[in-house]
DNA sequence: GCCAGCCTGTTG
DNA sequence: CAACAGGCTGGC
């Protein structure tokens, strides 16, 4: 479900509320969802920081030891959360009965909890010893952050060359090429850049790639500004919806007139995903 | 590349 | 009832 702007919005809502809180206990209600191959302790972790990389959230945890001048490696860990399609992280102010699809609960020192809830159960919470999060191969092979300095026009030109036979939409969705773009923002970026989603990446002119680079950053930045897209069930860490669905041009707009030219928006399948585009504006 | 598979829920 | 859903992996 959530793409970069949604995951970033969740990160921001959570860090404000629970940085420096202690996870007193991690309770797992469904064994598949919490992955802990190193048998990391499930209690008394101080939340030092919450970072995002692509669609992953990384919680930097430190053992809550009051006077410990020489912390050992086992006093630190990284908790990686991937929400996949329907995952949510929801703060509860008090301890309540776990919801139907709450699979992992983080009991907090403020008397509440952070609940990992995921209807389709594709998402995962994985615990790693410090620095070992790269053992998750999806994480290890992530491309650059599209809003970061490494995502340059030259990088996108070279990446389009490297994945030249693949559709440009396939490149945008490929997490090894660029981290964090999903189906909504791929379609919206391609509309703004005027590129037909099935165009081979290798055929695009440098001018078009430059425009796409700009539009990818523009769409993601605007979407973060609107706190993400709540198309079906996305909510942030406080249960609030985003607003970027009010600014979508093509995603889920098939049958509607294009706001730019009036041509009917179409829906096709590209790179295995439903794809929305304007046949007049996108070539 | 594509496509099934992982899951449950919603929509047509 | 079938088709589809914001993601990703692994097997051809």
How confident is the model at residue A252, as a pLDDT?
96
User: Which residues 100-119 of A interface with strand C at a CB distance below 7 A?
Assistant: none
Scanning every strand, the nucleotide with its C1' closest to A123's CA turns out to be C7
Q: What is the mean pLDDT of residues A276-280?
A: 97
Q: Is A2 a catalytic residue?
A: yes
Strands A76-82 and A56-63: antiparallel
Through-space distance between the first and last CA atoms of chain A, rounded to whole angstroms: 28
Total-model pTM: 0.97
* Cβ neighbours for A42, distance < 8 A, ≥ 6 positions apart: A25, A26, A28, A36
Q: For residue A74, give both structure tokens.
A: 């086992």
Check whether A64 has a pLDDT greater than 80.
Answer: no
Q: What percent of chain A has pLDDT over 70?
A: 99
A208 tagged catalytic: no
- Nucleotide nearest A201, CA–C1', reads B1
Structure tokens given for A275: 């794809």
Provide mean pLDDT across the span A97-105: 97
Could you read off the pLDDT of A190-200 as tens digits, one per residue? 999 999 999 99
**pLDDT tens string A202-238:** 999 999 999 999 999 999 999 999 999 998 889 999 9
Beta strands in chain A (DSSP E): 22-28, 34-35, 43-53, 56-63, 76-82, 87-92, 102-108, 113-118, 124-128, 266-270, 273-277
Q: Which domains does chain A have, with CATH numbers?
A: 4-140 (3.20.190.10), 153-277 (1.10.8.50)
Q: How far apart are CA A85 and CA A82, in angstroms?
A: 9
pLDDT at A22 over 70: yes
Q: Which two tokens stand for residue A58?
A: 């990384």
Whether residue A67 has pLDDT greater than 70: no
pLDDT for res A69: 73
Instruction: Identify whether the C-beta of residue A64 lies closer than 8 Å to the C-beta of residue A20.
Output: no
pLDDT at A136 over 80: yes
Is A3 labeled as catalytic in the residue annotation? Answer: yes
- Would you call A198 exposed, middle or buried from its count of C-beta atoms within 10 A (0-12, 13-18, 19+)? middle
Q: How many angstroms separate the CA of A268 from the C1' of C4?
A: 13
Going by the DSSP 8-state scheme, the letter that residue A119 receives in this structure is S
Predicted pLDDT of residue A271? 95
- Report which residue is nearest nucleotide C7 when distances run from CA to C1': A84
DSSP symbols for A215-261: HHHHHHHHHHHTT---SSS---TTS---SGGGG-SSTT-TTSBPTTT
CA A161 / C1′ B6 distance in Å: 32
């Amino acid at each position: 479900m959530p793409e970069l702007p949604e995951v970033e919005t969740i990160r921001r809502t959570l860090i404000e509320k629970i940085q420096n809180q202690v996870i007193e206990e991690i309770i797992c209600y469904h064994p598949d969802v919490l992955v802990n191959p190193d048998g990391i302790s499930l209690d008394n972790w101080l939340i030092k920081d919450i970072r995002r990389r692509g669609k992953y959230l990384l919680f930097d945890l430190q053992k809550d030891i009051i006077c410990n001048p020489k912390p050992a490696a086992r006093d630190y860990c990284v908790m990686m959360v991937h929400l996949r399609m329907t995952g949510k992280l929801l703060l509860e102010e008090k301890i309540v009965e776990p919801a139907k699809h709450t699979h992992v609960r983080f009991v907090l020192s403020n008397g509440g909890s952070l609940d990992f809830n995921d209807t389709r159960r594709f998402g995962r919470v994985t615990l790693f010893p410090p620095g070992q999060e790269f053992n998750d191969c999806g994480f290890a092979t992530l491309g650059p952050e599209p809003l970061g300095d490494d995502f340059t026009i030259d990088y996108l030109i070279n990446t389009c060359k490297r994945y030249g036979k693949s559709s440009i939409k396939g490149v945008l969705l490929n997490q090894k090429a660029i981290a964090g773009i999903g189906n909504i923002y791929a379609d919206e970026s391609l509309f703004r850049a005027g590129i037909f989603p099935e165009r081979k990446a290798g055929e695009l002119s440098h001018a078009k790639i430059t425009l796409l680079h700009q539009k990818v950053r523009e769409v993601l930045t605007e979407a973060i500004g609107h706190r993400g897209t709540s198309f079906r069930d996305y909510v942030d860490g406080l249960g609030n919806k985003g607003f970027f669905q009010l600014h979508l041009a093509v995603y889920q707009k098939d049958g509607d007139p294009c706001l730019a030219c009036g041509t009917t928006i179409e829906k096709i399948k590209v790179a295995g995903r439903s794809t929305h585009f304007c046949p007049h504006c996108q070539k």
